[in-house]
Amino acid sequence: MDFELETAQNRERLRRVVIDPVSRVEGHGKVTLLLDDHDRVREARLHIVEFRGFEVFIEGRPYWEVPVMVQRLCGICPVSHHLAASKALDRVVGARPVPPAAEKLRRLMHYGQILQSHALHFYHLSSPDLLFGFDSEAGRRNIVGVAAEHPEIARQGVLLRKFGQEVIRATAGKRIHGTGAVPGGANRHLAVEDRDRLAQDAPQMVEWSRAAVGMIKRLHRADPGLYDTFGTFRAGMLSLVRADGALELYDGVLRGRDADGRVLFDGVSDQDYRSLICEQVKSWSYMKFPFLRAFGPEQGWYKVGPLARVQNCDFIPSPLAEAERQEFVAHGGGAPIHAPLAYHWARMIEMLHAAEVISALLGDPDLLAGPLTAEGAHAREGVGIIEAPRGTLIHHYRVDDDDLVSMCNLIVSTTHNNQAMNTAIRAVASQYFDGRALTEGLLNRIEVAIRAFDPCLSCATHALGQMPMVLELAKADGTIVDRVTRG
């Protein structure tokens, strides 16, 4: 399954089906399917059609500008880029460690980011599919439809996201594209009034996050035939973990497991990521395909993000989320859960963890006072790795003698999941498409599989809701034989 549907033989004789653009994901991509005369899928590809070029235009810029410039990659998770770059540049300015106030402010900002992004993805982007069904009327499958039918769920989703964004505003200065972190630390303390206001709302956020885990758990258990098998494929997992094996999203060491859950490597420093990971380029997508160097491109691909993280760690260091993790692991019966739809369950466990971490951190006096930056012997290179909402995010910079960036390598979360998403859509296409006439619901299944990974396809623009979509089935000579439109 992994690669057998990547490139069909005799491609010119097959019919081409295109889903363009993929909707309710961040960024712009398309899916192409090639079908034979018996409507069997022979090729399925997720193409990323935007080219960004950040790695190149960062070069030649002063390093202290980078955390602010590079976060413009994304409007959903700018904090992740902001912090990954800052962490990499902490190495350059010799700030190891940064002062406690800065470390905790950044951590608070990051967990605010995790909370708001997970809420956005679950409530705004995915809950319409999960609550109404994949074949439901397309016009209803959006957050407005959810608000009409489940007003309390929609309200909680909106307010959870708002809370996360307020945490970001209080620590970074703005809800989107703030400037809180600088190489070597942070540039502001948390204001007492912000602390008090957030602390007042935090318990409610924990409760609503618990309810969200409960909801996805009920949906999962109500239809295990769907949730456990839809687009399922086996793959290894990569994430940061804390040195003691705890779930850790801000700073840690790299750990990888194979598809059976066996630890392949552990305790690898973020500075050594290149000893583990290579990237492959394919002619049909602007997104690279990373793989584990030791296993090669065909065997070494893996998945990242909530499903990987929740199963890669040994425990979650907050009580409510840890109880939920144990229940999740028990659902797998001792084996790793690979079902793409289980990403939603794992994501909500992480959202609960984020709410717990924020709640606990807000009581820490270090956020309010103390030195904000540190500096030591400067270095010419640094790597910063963070667990962004969508998965492991790697920023790597080299800086020349004049303080200008001479090399930049970014491996964003969605890139790690490139092969995994392609494999998922091939699994769905094989499960649901073979020999059937095209319908809008069928089409949506491909997108449901992609959405489970919460991809940020350009890591820039948020394409939300009713994107216009045309699905055409054409003969090899170009004659249109079937056409479905939406939006």
Partner 1 sequence: MTKQFLFDGQPVEFEDGQTILEAARAAGHYIPHLCWHPDFPPHGSCKLCIVKAGGRHVSSCALPAREGMEVESNTPEMNAERRALLQMLFVEGNHFCPSCEKSGNCQLQALAYELEMATARFNHFFPDRPVDASHPDVLLDFNRCIFCELCVRASRDVDGKSVFALTDRGIHKHLVVNAESGRLGDTDFSVDDRAANICPVGVILRKRVGFALPIGSRKYDGAAISVVAMKEGE
In the complex, minimum distance from the CB of residue 103 to partner 1, in angstroms, rounded to a whole number: 17
Peptide bond into 297 cis (omega under 30): no
In the complex, minimum distance from the CB of residue 183 to partner 1, in angstroms, rounded to a whole number: 8
CB neighbourhood size of 457 (10 A): 25
62 binds partner 1 (CB under 8 A): yes
Residue closer to partner 1 (CB basis): 71 or 413: 71
In the complex, minimum distance from the CB of residue 414 to partner 1, in angstroms, rounded to a whole number: 22
Which of 284, 85, 110 is CA-nearest to residue 183?
A: 85
Peptide bond into 21 cis (omega under 30): yes
Q: What is the rounded distance in angstroms from the CA atom of residue 367 to the CA atom of residue 389?
A: 23
Euclidean distance between the first and the last CA atom of the chain, given in angstroms as a whole number = 32
68 binds partner 1 (CB under 8 A): yes
In the complex, minimum distance from the CB of residue 80 to partner 1, in angstroms, rounded to a whole number: 17
In the complex, minimum distance from the CB of residue 66 to partner 1, in angstroms, rounded to a whole number: 9
462 binds partner 1 (CB under 8 A): no
404 binds partner 1 (CB under 8 A): yes
Binding residue count for partner 1, defined by CB under 8 A: 24
398 binds partner 1 (CB under 8 A): no
Q: Which stretch binds partner 1 (CB under 8 A): 36-44, 61-69, 132-140, 474-482?
A: 61-69
**Binding partner 1 by CB under 8 A: which of 64, 265, 286, 295?**
64
According to DSSP, residue 459 is labeled S
Query: Please, what's the b/e burial string for 289-317 (b: 16 or more CB within 10 A of its CB; e: otherwise)?
Result: bbbbeebebeebbbbbbbbbbbbbbeebb
In the complex, minimum distance from the CB of residue 173 to partner 1, in angstroms, rounded to a whole number: 5
150 binds partner 1 (CB under 8 A): no
406 binds partner 1 (CB under 8 A): no
Q: How far is CA 260 from CA 266, 293, 395, 400, in A?
A: 16, 19, 29, 44
**Strand, helix or coil for residue 142:** coil
**Binding partner 1 by CB under 8 A: which of 30, 61, 234, 486?**
61
Residue closer to partner 1 (CB basis): 1 or 369: 369
Site for partner 1 in 172-231 (CB under 8 A): 173-174, 177-180, 182-183, 187-188
Alpha carbon 34 to its chain centroid, in Å, reads 28
In the complex, minimum distance from the CB of residue 188 to partner 1, in angstroms, rounded to a whole number: 5
Q: Which residue matches tokens 């055409």?
A: 472
In the complex, minimum distance from the CB of residue 174 to partner 1, in angstroms, rounded to a whole number: 7
403 binds partner 1 (CB under 8 A): yes
Residue closer to partner 1 (CB basis): 31 or 172: 172
In the complex, minimum distance from the CB of residue 187 to partner 1, in angstroms, rounded to a whole number: 5
**Binding partner 1 by CB under 8 A: which of 373, 406, 439, 461?**
373
Q: What is the rounded distance in angstroms from the CA atom of residue 430 to the CA atom of residue 328?
A: 27
Q: Which stretch binds partner 1 (CB under 8 A): 110-118, 170-178, 311-319, 380-388?
A: 170-178
Q: How far is CA 227 from CA 216, 224, 421, in A?
A: 10, 5, 16
72 binds partner 1 (CB under 8 A): yes
60 binds partner 1 (CB under 8 A): yes
4 binds partner 1 (CB under 8 A): no
Are 256 and 236 in contact by the 8 Å Cβ rule? The answer is: yes
Q: What is the rounded distance in angstroms from the CA atom of residue 44 to the CA atom of residue 22?
A: 14
285 binds partner 1 (CB under 8 A): no
Residue closer to partner 1 (CB basis): 85 or 198: 85
Q: Which long-range contacts (CB under 8 A, 24 or more apart) does 286-289 make?
A: 286/48, 286/49, 286/50, 286/51, 287/48, 287/414, 287/415, 287/418, 287/457, 288/411, 288/415, 288/418, 289/415, 289/418, 289/419
370 binds partner 1 (CB under 8 A): no
Residues of the chain by 3-state class (helix, strand, coil), percent to 5: 45, 20, 35
Residue closer to partner 1 (CB basis): 171 or 444: 171
In the complex, minimum distance from the CB of residue 395 to partner 1, in angstroms, rounded to a whole number: 15
7 binds partner 1 (CB under 8 A): no
Site for partner 1 in 230-249 (CB under 8 A): none
Specify burial of residue 254 (Cβ count, 10 A radius: 0-12, 13-18, 19+): buried
In the complex, minimum distance from the CB of residue 400 to partner 1, in angstroms, rounded to a whole number: 8
Q: How far is CA 430 from CA 133, 143, 396, 401, in A?
A: 20, 29, 38, 54
Residues that bind partner 1 (CB under 8 A): 60-62, 64-65, 67-69, 72, 93, 173-174, 177-180, 182-183, 187-188, 373, 402-404
